[in-house]
Amino acid sequence: MYTSPKILILDEPTRGIDVGAKAEIYTLINELVNQGLSIILISSELPEVLGMSDRVLVINEGVSTACLDIDAASAEEVMMYATQ
């Protein structure tokens, strides 16, 4: 963070932590976004992806299968593209 990045890539930032710590991480992520930082959030937790994202890029076996605006994304639709 000391280098003032424009984009931050977070790979499974909440894996293996308790619910309280997750909430703190989500707050920190939202604060960074509000400061103008772009976040690429990689997560296998679908509720986390749907709750924290503006857009969802679905990748299956290394191939992009969909790019969904969060307003149109549902768990069912994401899973459909993830399992094609």
> Is there a contact between 46 and 15 (Cβ–Cβ < 8 Å)?
no
Q: Where are the domains of the chain?
A: 1-44, 54-84
Taking the C-alpha atoms of residue 42 and residue 56, their distance in angstroms, rounded to an integer, is: 10
pLDDT of 59-75, one tens digit each? 999 999 999 999 989 99
**Is the overall model pTM greater than 0.75, yes or no?**
yes
CA gap 63, 73 in Å, rounded: 19
- Beta strands 55-60 and 63-69, pairing class: antiparallel
Condensed to tens digits (0 to 9), the pLDDT of residues 34-53 reads 999 999 999 999 999 999 99
Band of residue 25 on the pLDDT scale cut at 50, 70, 90: very high
| 63-69 and 7-11 strand pairing | unpaired
